[in-house]
Amino acid sequence: MTTQTIDIPHLGGSTIGYRFARQYDPALPTLVMINSFTTSVELYRPQFANADLASRMNLLAIEPYGHGETRARYRHFTYWDSAIAALQVLDALNISKAFVLGTSQGGWIATRMALLNPGTVEGIVICGTSMDYESPASMERGCWNGAEFCSPAIEALAEPVGEDWVVDDDFVVAVLGAGLGENVSDAERDFWIQTYRTNYRGDEGRRRLRTSSINLRDRDGLEARLSDVHCPVLWLQGTADQVYSVANAEDGISRFTGSLSATLQIVEGGQHFLTASDPEVADAATLAFVEQWS
């Protein structure tokens, strides 16, 4: 199915981009998928292409504010806003219960959804993520320097641009390098360059890209709130992740003290965008998790 949009009331009225793998079946469990920084529902092409996964649950990708087809009347937004918007999308689609999978930033949006509406979120699968902000403690656990990555883009995107502007290819390549490693195929790189050029163009695209970068760099951490997550949690963490470390994942999963179950699964050689780099492992683990807790 193609990307669709749906209107919700949040942020003065928003249009949210989403995609189902196939027609919704109320008899099946639903898995909401939240994409990583500056990507779109296209991040989950491997999951949509997995016939076994798509036949056993409703796969529903939802794009956060600043990403893909999602737009809002208000110009500024946070990850909390994206969590609220995703929950309002579920309401608008008459889906009362769902599991939520999030890759990288999608992981902390999924966790926010569980904190905001535990009656809706049945469980979360968080992949290559962090529950901390971009803190000194995070870097001591072997994570990246988020400010070093984001600040140049935030500064470069500070001034208005013409409607012929498109995101710089170097930005896309840097994101792919951090997310998928250095061995990204030419076809994959070219696909994402074209996708980014479509999603981030003109002055409105510049604004969304800049705010998304600010959110990544300056977000609030969730560590003190995690004891209030009561649903089951599965954390998938790759050993080749260049952004967040295994040590950080070990620390983060230990903080879900109120969860019915909190499990960390290490994926040998897995990259940061784990659902894209290692879809076979991520899909199998997700399917087992959803079927266990449905």
**Contact criterion met (CB below 8 Å) for 86 and 98:** no
Residues in the chain with pLDDT values less than 70: none
Residue position matching structure tokens 């300056």? 218
**Contact criterion met (CB below 8 Å) for 43 and 275:** yes
Which uninterrupted H or E stretch holds 287?
Answer: helix 279-293
Helices 146-156 and 169-180: crossing angle in degrees, nearest 10, is 160
Taking the domains of the chain in order of start, what are their residue ranges? 4-142+220-293
Using left for φ > 0, alpha for ψ between -120 and 50, and beta otherwise, residue 33 falls in: beta
Give the class (CATH, top level) of 4-142+220-293: alpha beta
First-to-last CA distance in the chain? Answer: 25
Q: Of 58, 64, 94, 60, whose CA–CA distance to 77 is shortest?
A: 64
**Contact criterion met (CB below 8 Å) for 88 and 9:** yes
Q: pTM (2 decimals)? A: 0.98
Give the pLDDT of residue 38: 98
As a whole number of angstroms, the distance between CA 8 and CA 178 comes to: 33
Burial of 52 (0-12, 13-18, 19+ CB in 10 A): exposed
As a whole number of angstroms, the distance between CA 237 and CA 161 comes to: 38
**Contact criterion met (CB below 8 Å) for 231 and 95:** no
Q: Tally the residues of the chain.
A: 294
Give the pLDDT of residue 1: 73
Question: How many helices (H) does the chain have, and how many strands (E)?
Answer: 12, 9
